[in-house]
Structure formats: structure tokens, C-alpha cells
A = this chain, B = another copy of it.
Amino acid sequence: MNVPFRVDNCSIERTLDVVGEKWTFLVLREAFSGVRRFADMQAITGAPRQVLSARLNRLVDEGLLRKEPYREPGQRQRDEYRLTQKGLDLYPILVALMHWGDTYMADEEGPPVMLTHRGCGAALEQHFRCADGHEVAGPREVTAVEGSGAKLKSA
């Protein structure tokens, strides 16, 4: 497009400011898999304790995860981490990352995990269509236009 608009309010850039870090996505992957506890996340991701703690706090501060206290018998109270709606809405990003990786990065035997429709068991697919209901195959059928928050570059 090459339009003379500023990019400092770019939605991609702002999203990456919140989630654009490998450990953050891996924490979110675990949250979507139902993993809620610090020790489990650490064991599965292999993230260093301090890194994991910092990422979880950031995700709570940004409102993507919320803390829920729990207590195992004979233990002190701890917090579980659960996805908020804002966090759940990251799902299309995670699925898109996974599908690309399944296509281009999988071992010869194939991808480790397959996402299926709970209702019928068929494979999950991600599609584009427009608000008028037309299927959109990909970037060549898409035009970027000025949004309501577009800011012209000053001369």
C-alpha cells in the first residue's frame, strides 16, 4: 500500500508489546491446554523460574490471565492462572501459529497435536471471509484501507 500514515498506533505492534515474546506464547499455549499452576507450567515449558514469574505477572497486569487462589491440603495458599475473555480471544493467534508450524516445521511423522471440532471430530480449519459473507482466499484478495484511527504523517 505504501500510504503516508504513521505506524505508531499499529495494532500488530501493540499486540506484540503484550504477547510478542516466545515464553509468553508458550505460557498461553499451556493456559489454553488447561494448565493453571506455576509448577506445572514450569515443568512443561522449561522456562526459568524468574522468567516464568515475570511473564505471568505481565499477563495478569494486562488482563489476559487472572489469579484464582487455591490451597492443597497441608500447603500454603497459592494462585492458579486462568484465561480471561481478553486472553481467550488470543486463540486465533495461537491456532494460526500452530497451523503454520504444522505445515512448515513439523517432523517427518507429522505434527504432535491435532485440533478437532468437539462436536464431530473433524479437523479445525481457519478461514477468511468478509462481512458480506464472501470467502477470501488470502492476502491477494485483501485491500488495506485507512481505519478510523489512521494518522497522517506530518510533513
Interface residues of A (CB under 8 A from B): 1-2, 5-7, 9-18, 20-22, 25-26, 29, 32-35, 44-45, 86, 88-132, 134, 136, 138-151
Contacts and interface: CB of A to CB of B under 8 A. Distances in A.
Interface of A is mostly: mixed
Nearest to A95: B128
A140 to B, nearest CB: 8
B142 A112 contact: no
Given A20-B25, A116-B143, A120-B132, A92 B88 contact: no
A144 B115 contact: yes
A33 B2 contact: yes
A11 B117 contact: no
Contacts of A98: 11-12, 15
Nearest to A148: B110
A147 B110 contact: yes
A143 to B, nearest CB: 5
Contacts of A44: 7
Given A12-B29, A89-B100, A127-B127, A148 B111 contact: yes
B130 A142 contact: no
Contact of A11 (B26, B106, B120): B106
A33 B10 CA distance: 13
Given A92-B126, A112-B147, A132-B122, A105 B14 contact: yes
